[in-house]
Amino acid sequence: MGLARWQHQQADATFNEEALQGEQQLLEQQTQVWREQHFAAQRHCHHAAERYEQACAALLQAREARQAMANHPVLTRLMDNEPDLIPLSNETVQILIRARTELERQLLELRAQQGEEARVLEALRVRSLLPPTRDVAAVCQLLEEAGLACWSGWEHVAQQLPRSAARPFIERAPELVQGVLVRDQDLERARRVLLATSAALETPVVVAARQQAFSVDPGQEPEGRFLVGPTSDAHFDADAGAREAVVRELRLERLQAEQVQVERERQTLREALDQLETYLQRHPPGFFEAREAEVTAHRAAQQAAQDHLSDLSAEQHQRQARLQELSLQLEACRQAAEAARQHRQRLETHLERHGDERQERELEDSVHQDERQAQALEQQADHNDERARTAEGQARHLLDLARHLERVPPPPNMKHAPCRIWSRAPFLLPPKMSKPVGAAPPAV
What would the pLDDT profile of 223-247 be if each residue is shown by its tens digit?
Answer: 555 456 566 767 777 787 788 788 8
Last residue of a domain, which of 209, 231, 253?
Answer: 231
Say yes or no: 147 and 210 in one domain: yes
Say yes or no: 290 and 329 in one domain: yes
Say yes or no: 152 and 225 in one domain: yes
> What pLDDT, on the 0 to 100 scale, is given for residue 94?
86
Distance from C-alpha of 336 to C-alpha of 363, rounded to nearest angstrom: 20
89 domain-assigned: no
Last residue of a domain, which of 325, 351, 377?
Answer: 351
Say yes or no: 423 and 337 in one domain: no
Say yes or no: 331 and 379 in one domain: no
> What pLDDT, on the 0 to 100 scale, is given for residue 222?
52
Residue 368's closest CA among 4, 7, 6, 60? 6
375 domain-assigned: yes
> What pLDDT, on the 0 to 100 scale, is given for residue 224?
55
pLDDT below 70 — which residues of the chain? 1-3, 81, 83-85, 216-231, 233, 351, 354-364, 367, 370-371, 374, 381, 385, 408-444
Taking the CA atoms of 327, 332, 336 and 338 in sequence, report the sign of the dihedral they define.
positive
157 domain-assigned: yes
- The C-alpha R_g of the chain, in whole angstroms, comes to 63
Say yes or no: 374 and 347 in one domain: no
Say yes or no: 374 and 336 in one domain: no
19 domain-assigned: yes
102 domain-assigned: no
The domain of 189 spans 131-231
Distance from C-alpha of 255 to C-alpha of 260, rounded to nearest angstrom: 9
120 domain-assigned: no
Say yes or no: 225 and 140 in one domain: yes
Q: Where are the alpha helices (DSSP H) in 283-356?
A: 287-353
> How many domains would you assign to the chain?
3
Say yes or no: 223 and 297 in one domain: no
Say yes or no: 323 and 387 in one domain: no
> What pLDDT, on the 0 to 100 scale, is given for residue 370?
67
162 domain-assigned: yes
**Does residue 87 have a cis bond before it (omega within 30 degrees)?**
no
Helix/strand/coil percentages in the chain, nearest 5:
75, 0, 20
270 domain-assigned: no
> What pLDDT, on the 0 to 100 scale, is given for residue 236?
74
DSSP 175-206: HHHTSEEE-GGGHHHHHHHHHHHT---SS---
